[in-house]
Amino acid sequence: MATNQLSPKFFACSQSIELAEEIAKNYGFELGKVITTHFSDGEFQPAFEESVRGRRVFIIGSTFPSADNLMEMLLMCDAAKRASARHITAVMPYFGWARQDRKDKPRVAIGAKLVAKLLEAAGATRIMTMDLHADQIQGFFEKPVDHLFASTIFLPYVKSLELDNLTIASPDMGGSKRAYAYSKYLESDVVICYKQRAKANVISHMELIGEVEGKNVILVDDMIDTGGTLTKAADLMMERGAKSVRAICTHPILSGNAYERIQNSKLEELIVSDTIPLKKNISKIKVVTCAPLFADVMRKVQDNTSISGQFLM
């Protein structure tokens, strides 16, 4: 165990204070003090109110929009670097801008790559995140990336449901790898939804590849934004004779009228993590905390021990 002089320090970005408090509590530490000065034009300046010289610093903050959340992470990394922190780990349970991982049409930015470079320029020496939208984003960094899988927290919950005739489903072709990984662990069948989009967040057509009649189906995805894909998939599966449909989505972005759409859908339950705080609580949403997982991996990083045992898939 590290000595007190070299013990880590934990700090939270303002958008992730509750999760950061839980992570620090699971680790056995308290959050460090940060004071943020806000200026009348909307600019802000975070400042550490305690020394971080020679320490490993964990800065915890999901970078979902608005862009202020990403900017706060960058400013805090820069502040830690200029305060002579030994290591700076940007802990981003939700890595924002990850859907911009490639040029899918001419003359567009690759936002995920840009964010990676910004974090490194700000002083981050390590990145810790969970369920990236695309695995290849790890390659955008020249620093170590700890990419955790939410299956570690979700699979025990799924097993506790004791569902018979279980089938794992992917809401699109891109998520088939994740669905197959869950199905392998749970020894279940897999079905895939094939969708065509009219434009971003608007589905024009959806088909189902596989049989769901009489099955308890669990859709798995890395995030849920407007909820259009999942609710449409649930409707389609119930029409095809599914016994029940649940969904597991790591990051509850839940924009627009997503909450109403979920509550009024044929989904029996939406299971999410707390990487992004919910704007409201509704009966169909079940939150499973990722705090113990992050705390355990942080401890292993601090102690320079292997984290491979944390991966269930």
Residues annotated as part of the active site: 195
- Single-letter amino acid, residue 69: N
Which residue's structure tokens are 């979902």?
Answer: 64
Asked whether 219 and 233 are in contact (CB, 8 A), the reply is yes
Q: Quote the CA–CA distance of 189 and 169 in Å, as a whole number.
A: 8
Asked whether 63 and 96 are in contact (CB, 8 A), the reply is yes
Residues 6+ apart with CB under 8 A from 141: 116, 119, 120, 127
- Single-letter amino acid, residue 124: A
Token digits of residue 40? 């009348």
| DSSP calls for the chain | ---GGG--EEEE-GGGHHHHHHHHHHHT--BPPEEEEE-TTS-EEEEESS--TT-EEEEE---PSSHHHHHHHHHHHHHHHHTT-SEEEEEESS-TTTT--S-SSTT---HHHHHHHHHHHHT-SEEEEES-SSGGGGGG-SS-EEEE-THHHHHHHHHHH--SSEEEEESSGGGHHHHHHHHHHHT-EEEEEEEEEEETTEEEEEEEES--TT-EEEEEEEEESSSHHHHHHHHHHHHTT-SEEEEEEEEE---TTHHHHHHTSS-SEEEEESSS--SS--TTEEEE--HHHHHHHHHHHHTT---GGG---
Token digits of residue 298? 């942080």
